[in-house]
């Protein structure tokens, strides 16, 4: 199995719809040992059955990434329970509601700072604080979205955070490369999760993506999970600083495909029904 003997920590499982859950499952299926984290006690109970399923009930730790001391405590717990680790999954993002709809120029400094802190700076802090317990062939993975590269309606503040996150991946990759640590991101297509529910008109985004991607579908957490597992495994040992798209190919499209009716009138394919 591809992940036999590998140990890692996965941050960002909220429930079984989370992308991080898809990655955790794929890693477990390939023989990895995982630890998972929860935000606060309210979520501990919710995660208990998932931890049981992933066979890590004894490795379920609190970690609110906005609290630096919790990251340090996490490292010490991981050190005690797992020794060295081989991978980290950072599948965390947050923006206040005001940053995910409406006029972009109205966003407050508080909203801007909190989204950058939780969605971006946490990756740097986790990489730095967990470095002492990482093996010299370790891999870090984070999650991005196309809204960090091009304008996407309502993605607003999170788009700016993802742009910063993608450059953070590249600078971290260079910096940690000398320690044998790889850093990559998956830019996933839209998936209906708890975090996604906060984005204005998200269901429209899903329809648009499936209609206009080459594969004419939306990706699943299993697909993102398998690609994530590849980036965490030795199969990708020559890959770092990469933003890997798992989006049914949507990002390659410069213009939606045009179809013509029997009278030669062009129209844009919408939700598959017109095909
Ligand atoms: P999700 O299931 O809601 O996961 C988001 C996770 O972030 C939750 O577990 C949440 O914890 C955690 N989180 C928020 N603030 C935190 C904090 N201060 N400390 C620790 N954890 C915190 O949604 P998801 O869609 O899987 O999101 C995972 C990642 O994928 C995010 O970076 C997201 O931007 C990215 N992504 C999502 C999509 C999509 O369409 N869904 C597409 C591309 C990229 P709680 O739930 O406990 O608050």
For residues 11 and 16, give the distance between their C-alpha atoms in angstroms, rounded to a whole number: 14
Ligand 1 neighbour 39 (Cβ under 6 A): yes
pLDDT score for 42? 86
Does the beta carbon of 245 sit less than 6 angstroms from any atom of ligand 1?
no
pLDDT, mean of residues 127-153: 98
Nearest to 31 by CA among 1, 73, 75, 54: 1
| Closest to 22 (Cα-Cα) out of 52, 50, 59 | 50
The most distant pair of C-alpha atoms in the chain lies apart, rounded to whole Å, by 71
Residue-wise pLDDT for 26-69, tens only, equals 999 999 999 999 998 888 999 999 999 999 999 999 999 999 99
| Structure confidence at residue 275 as a pLDDT band (50, 70, 90) | very low
Across residues 16-35, what is the average pLDDT?
98
What is the model's pLDDT at position 274? Answer: 41
Q: Is the pLDDT of residue 193 over 70?
A: yes
CA distance 60 to 52: 10
Instruction: Please name the residues in contact with 60: beta carbons below 8 A apart, sequence gap of 6 or more.
Output: 35, 36, 37, 38, 44, 47, 48, 51
CB-based contacts of 52, cutoff 8 Å, min separation 6: none
pLDDT band at 102 (very low <50, low <70, confident <90, very high): very high
Q: Where are the alpha helices (H) located in the chain, listed in sequence order?
A: 19-29, 41-53, 68-82, 109-116, 122-130, 156-177, 202-212, 221-232
260 Cα to the center of ligand 1, angstroms: 40
User: Class of 7-274 per CATH?
Assistant: alpha beta
pLDDT higher than threshold 80 for residue 218:
yes
Q: Sketch the domain layout of the chain as residue ranges.
A: 7-274
> In the structure, what pLDDT confidence band is assigned to residue 264 with cuts at 50, 70 and 90?
confident
Mean pLDDT of 214-234: 97
Q: Ligand 1: which atom is nearest the Cα of residue 43?
A: 47
Question: How many A from CA of 145 to the centre of ligand 1?
Answer: 12
Atom 2 in ligand 1: residue holding the nearest Cα: 18
């Amino acid at each position: 199995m591809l992940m036999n003997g590998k140990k890692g920590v996965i941050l960002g499982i909220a429930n079984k719809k989370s992308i991080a859950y898809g990655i955790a499952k794929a890693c477990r299926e390939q023989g990895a040992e995982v630890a998972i984290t929860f935000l606060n006690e309210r979520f501990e109970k919710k995660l208990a059955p998932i931890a049981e399923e992933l066979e890590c009930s004894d490795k379920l730790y609190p970690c609110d990434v906005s609290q630096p001391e919790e990251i340090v405590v996490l490292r010490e717990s991981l050190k005690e329970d797992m020794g060295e680790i081989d991978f980290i999954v950072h599948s965390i993002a947050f923006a206040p509601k005001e940053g995910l709809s409406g006029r972009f120029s109205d966003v407050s400094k508080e909203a801007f700072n909190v989204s950058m802190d939780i969605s971006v700076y946490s990756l740097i802090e986790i990489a730095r604080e967990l470095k002492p317990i990482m093996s010299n062939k370790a891999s870090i993975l984070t999650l991005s979205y196309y809204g960090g590269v091009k304008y996407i309606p309502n993605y607003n503040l999170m788009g700016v955070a993802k742009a910063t996150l993608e450059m953070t991946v590249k600078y971290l990759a260079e910096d940690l490369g000398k320690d044998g640590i790889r850093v990559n991101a998956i830019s996933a297509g839209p998936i209906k999760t708890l975090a996604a529910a906060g984005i204005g008109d998200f269901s429209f985004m899903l329809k648009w993506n499936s209609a206009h991607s080459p594969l004419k579908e939306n990706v699943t957490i299993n697909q993102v999970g398998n690609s994530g597992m590849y980036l965490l495994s030795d199969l990708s040992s020559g890959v770092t600083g990469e933003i890997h798209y798992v989006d049914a190919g949507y990002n390659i499209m410069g213009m939606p495909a045009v179809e013509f009716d029997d009278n030669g009138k062009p129209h844009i394919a919408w939700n598959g029904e017109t095909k």
